[in-house]
Chains A and B, each alone.
Chain A
């Protein structure tokens, strides 16, 4: 481990441009996180084609910093505008906006910033400590374990992070189905190409992501009328004093740990971490009735959790090749562009890259404090940028970025089709993230299952009785039951309320 850190530090110090990339990524991420509707995932997706011109370390540091920055950036518009810039900041506004309305916007932003940095550093440290041993354990994973992990990835995001488990599962399954288009990796035969040679290489993952996240969001915004909220734009961020942070140490510790654990779970991400952390903060508080009125813990809990989840979600990405969240699923595109396959062999074959990411994440979280203090008032002004200019600009970046990937018009067609499909799914309240995770995990899940069956002579029980695979599959079933039960209770309560009101 020490070797790895020394090599990576040497590389980064001899290539100071890496720190420039971290800073640029941080600014881009905060901007995308702060602007409602853009989100960090869109920011990461748009930058992927651009990373082609750089080395893999620089590319991944850029994308990782965008992820870190955007997770904090969402809190700026949540606190000042009562509109979360990104889903993971939805809870932050519950107490952040009331505090801002009392004339303490600077304090609210300071708490969000400090909590984000603390959670982010915690998550990065866990990443550094957990990823290498997990990768070593993963080297003993067989096809059955990888199949079980892929199933857990889909079911976890479907059951924990979604309002409708059926819809989230359907979205994940659609992603898995789309991943079957093209040449079958085992037999070499073509599937679902319908005679079109362009589909032999399958559905491009990066164009699909850019279409589903960026283009569909623009189409949604073009077609809807947004309700304007009261704006607070005059702000000066003030970091909380040490004793104020100490007063929240319980909340910060609990939220950072919870955020990291949730981030590590394949398929779940910062949004779930923020919500669960906020509910735990209310549950553990001596004054739960004060939440929603401007409680500092109400800001600190979700912000430390969502930033801790960033580091946590990088653990399965780097160690297992399984994305821990939608943003890390998109980052796989950034690695793919450089011909790098994430997984346990990454630690062996690309130690410099992995340890550079560890250092880069830590630096990004520390840099965030600087940018957050200096830039909040400028980022508040970004919120004034009319979407009439931003939206078409995003369409241009989508088209040119996707075209630049392979100079192939088919990629742009894929992006347009998925943009339309993503728009339809959003209108029908189908979550997009499970579909993308299905698209990413599809090949892994299929090949692993088929190989596992070949090795076990088509004996399914041999897969289920393997300790790790069996445990992971059992966790999938438990998470599904948990999600379905929660959905059933919510729908029954809603139906009863409707009948009572009639």
Chain B
């Protein structure tokens, strides 16, 4: 049932969003030469269809909720185990990695990210868990810098100086 409610909420967001974006499209610059097929023409067609489909999805979900209530099936059947804490921590770690790439550069940020990410997922082999971040970072650095000659983030200030010693 929770999933149905979440689904319905998303459909409502889509409907409200399409109304909002329609109002934004009304404020687009006008070009008299393209009257009838101006900048807002295509987005508005799409938004109408999105709104109608969102309403249809809401109606379908309401019917499903009513059927489930009528059948007395309020609890979810089966369903996967979902770890919100782990997801939140993973997302925070990925964002921190993104910030780290720009501030401390690729090598340091990647080693730190891999170290904490493997711990977060619960990898138990301590030795491999310690070696892997360094080995993988070295491999990717070699592949990008030497083999493909593609840029890697260097970071800022002293970290940039440190990165330049390697690439």
Residues of chain A from 17 to 42 with CB closer than 8 A to chain B in the complex: none
Residue A224 interfacial (CB < 8 Å): yes
Residue A453 interfacial (CB < 8 Å): yes
Residues of chain A from 397 to 444 with CB closer than 8 A to chain B in the complex: 397, 399-400, 403-404, 407, 409, 412-413, 416, 419-420, 424, 427-429
Smallest CB–CB gap between A97 and chain B, Å?
21
Q: Across the interface, do B153 and A403 meet the contact criterion of CB distance under 8 Å?
A: yes
Residue A55 interfacial (CB < 8 Å): no
Which candidate, A1-9, A170-178, A272-280, A282-290, is the interface stretch facing chain B? A170-178
Report how many residues on chain B are interfacial, defined by Cβ distance under 8 Å: 74
The DSSP consensus for interface residues of chain A is helix
Return chain B residues, CB-CB under 8 Å to A176: 46
**A180-B46, A389-B118, A428-B10 as given contacts; A495 in contact with B67, CB under 8 Å:** yes
Residues of chain B from 84 to 111 with CB closer than 8 A to chain A in the complex: 84, 86-87, 90-91, 94-95, 97-98, 101-102, 106, 110
Instruction: For the complex, give the distance between the alpha carbons of A236 and B37 in Å.
Output: 62
> Would you give the 0/1 interface string for B42-85, flagging 1 where the beta carbon is closer than 8 Å to chain A?
11001101100110110010011001101111000000111110
Instruction: For the complex, give the distance between the alpha carbons of A52 and B24 in Å.
Output: 37
The DSSP consensus for interface residues of chain B is helix
Instruction: For the complex, give the distance between the alpha carbons of A151 and B94 in Å.
Output: 37
Q: Across the interface, do A219 and B10 meet the contact criterion of CB distance under 8 Å?
A: no
Smallest CB–CB gap between B88 and chain A, Å?
9
**A191-B28, A499-B67 as given contacts; A392 in contact with B86, CB under 8 Å:** no
Instruction: For the complex, give the distance between the alpha carbons of A459 and B153 in Å.
Output: 53
Instruction: For the complex, give the distance between the alpha carbons of A498 and B70 in Å.
Output: 9
Q: Across the interface, do B24 and A50 meet the contact criterion of CB distance under 8 Å?
A: no
**A174-B50, A187-B38 as given contacts; A498 in contact with B73, CB under 8 Å:** yes
Q: Across the interface, do A388 and B118 meet the contact criterion of CB distance under 8 Å?
A: yes
Return chain A residues, CB-CB under 8 Å to B121: 222, 387-388, 391-392
Residue B151 interfacial (CB < 8 Å): yes
A-side interface residues toward B, CB under 8 Å? 49-50, 52-53, 166-167, 169-170, 173-174, 176-177, 180, 184, 186-187, 189-192, 215, 219, 222-225, 386-389, 391-393, 395-397, 399-400, 403-404, 407, 409, 412-413, 416, 419-420, 424, 427-429, 445-446, 449-450, 453-454, 458, 491, 495, 498-499, 501-502
The 6 A-B residue pairs whose C-beta atoms are closest, nearest first, are A388-B123, A392-B117, A502-B71, A223-B87, A404-B150, A388-B121
B-side interface residues toward A, CB under 8 Å? 3, 6-7, 10, 14, 21, 24-25, 28-29, 31, 34, 36-39, 41-43, 46-47, 49-50, 53-54, 56-57, 60, 63-64, 67-68, 70-73, 80-84, 86-87, 90-91, 94-95, 97-98, 101-102, 106, 110, 113-114, 117-118, 120-123, 128, 132, 136-137, 140, 144, 147-153
